[in-house]
Amino acid sequence: MQLLDEATVNRAGRTGGTFLHTSRVRPSTLPRGRVPPHMTGYDQPVNDTTKSVLRNLEHIGIDVLIPIGGDDTLSYGKRLHDEGMHVVAIPKTMDNDVYGTDYCIGFSTCVTRTIELTHRLRTSAGSHERFLVIEVFGRYAGFTALLPTMAGAADRCVIPEYPVDVERLTELLTEDRNRNPSRYAVVLVSEGSRLTSQEGMSFEGTEADMFGHRKLGGIGDRVGTALKELSPKYNNGRRIDVVNQRLGYLVRSGDPDALDSIVPMAFGNLALDLVVKKEYGRLVSIHKGFYDSVPLSSVTSDKKIVDVSRYYNTDRLRPIYEFDGAPLFIMTSD
């Protein structure tokens, strides 16, 4: 616990990361080996420790809990609400994939960093006349690849919602490269993307966290290897080499950008307004550019992923550029 004063909050408000810290612990499915020694009565291989969580919240005098996070954090927040805890939730994930809100804290900074770092990498790709393959975060949703591509960071993008034919990708990138005076082309690849020639996602290992997620990684390397092997077919028999880069935590480190300084301020005030009005079980949100709140149950009601038919050109492997009447970040959670 940390008591908040004005100086602490002011400093935290202009700094990246979470001074609350974070974990991948899931109290409803806690392995016996992870149960703290002072907690007795949990002797099953996997234990639901929610009753202890509720008892601890009561003991330290928490009247209202404001969970800040993505699907996993907020789904457990809903569980606590269902158990009688007063909960008002705030969506925060750079993947921007919480259902019920068009925007999650961190997404703008992620897009900003991705564009900036991709443009920096162009110098090497152009110098060597190569394909530039950049792997970005995005397990189930491709927003973090689609939006930067839409903003001009890449020629093509590969997203989890649509398995890509790497032959078609090679053909398109070769055309892009040959049209470019500097003789290079760029593709952004979401970490959860799949190839039509492979089964499932690409993982770094077999170990899963408490939410059942195995660590993703390697799809960028797979795409890069395939591009190199197939390129002679579309480049008059000459192979095109590849620059592979995984952006990883670079896009979620450091200070927030302007939008991610404004939105959290607004979300925090919206949450406090709901607390003052005793309107619990709500998720603060943005819908089509307007601040609002929705039932917390929205988080678990559906998955927020890219609507391929509206936003992704499956033949050209790039965004659909139609903006009339669209909100600032184009894609809604409808």
Q: Are residues 175 and 277 in the same domain?
A: no
Has residue 294 got a pLDDT over 80? yes
Rounded to whole angstroms, how far apart are CA atoms 88 and 295? 9
Residue 223 lies in a domain: yes
Instruction: Specify whether 154 is located in the same domain as 66.
Output: no
* Domain assignment of residue 136, yes or no: yes
Are residues 149 and 223 both part of a single domain? yes
**Residue of 182, 186, 170, 92 whose CA lies nearest to 133:** 186
pLDDT of residue 214 exceeding 60, the answer is no
Known catalytic residues are: 95
Mean pLDDT, rounded, for 66-81: 94
pLDDT of the residue at 210: 54
* Residue 332, in any domain of the structure: no
* Domain count within the chain: 2
**Residue 161 lies inside a defined structural domain of this protein:** yes
Quick one: 62 and 166 in the same domain? no
Q: Model-level pTM?
A: 0.89
Does residue 166 share a domain with residue 57?
no
Percent of the chain residues past pLDDT 90, beyond the cut: 74
325 in a domain, yes or no? no
Amino acid letter, residue 113: R
CATH number reported for the structural domain that contains residue 285 in this entry: 3.40.50.450
Q: Is 280 found in the same domain as 232?
A: no
- The verdict on 224 and 272 lying in the same domain is no
Would you say 312 and 159 are in contact if contact means Cβ atoms under 8 Å apart?
yes
Mean pLDDT of the chain: 90
Assess whether 99 and 112 both reside in one domain: no
- pLDDT score at 203: 47
How many percent of the chain have pLDDT more than 70?
A: 93
Residue 216's pLDDT band, with cuts at 50, 70 and 90, is: low
Are both 43 and 98 inside the same structural domain? Answer: yes
What CATH code is carried by the domain that includes residue 212?
A: 3.40.50.460
Residue at 36 is within a domain: yes
pLDDT, tens digit (0-9, with 9 covering 90-100), for 101-127: 999 999 999 999 999 999 999 999 999
pLDDT of 170-201, one tens digit each? 999 999 999 999 999 999 999 999 999 766 55
Query: Is residue 323 situated within a structural domain?
Result: no
Question: Is position 328 within any domain?
Answer: no
Could you tell me which residue, 140 or 85, shows the higher pLDDT? 85
pLDDT for position 199: 61
How many other β-carbons are positioned within 10 Å of the β-carbon of residue 327?
Answer: 15
Same domain, 219 and 150: yes
Do 27 and 39 sit in the same domain of this protein?
yes
Residue 136 belongs to what domain range?
108-254
pLDDT at residue 85 is higher than 80? yes
What pLDDT, on a 0 to 100 scale, did the predictor assign at position 315? 97
Are 138 and 173 within one domain?
yes
Question: Regarding beta strands 88-91 and 68-69, do their DSSP bridges make them parallel or antiparallel, or are they unpaired?
Answer: parallel
**19-59 pLDDT, tens digit each:** 878 777 889 999 999 898 888 889 999 999 999 999 999 99
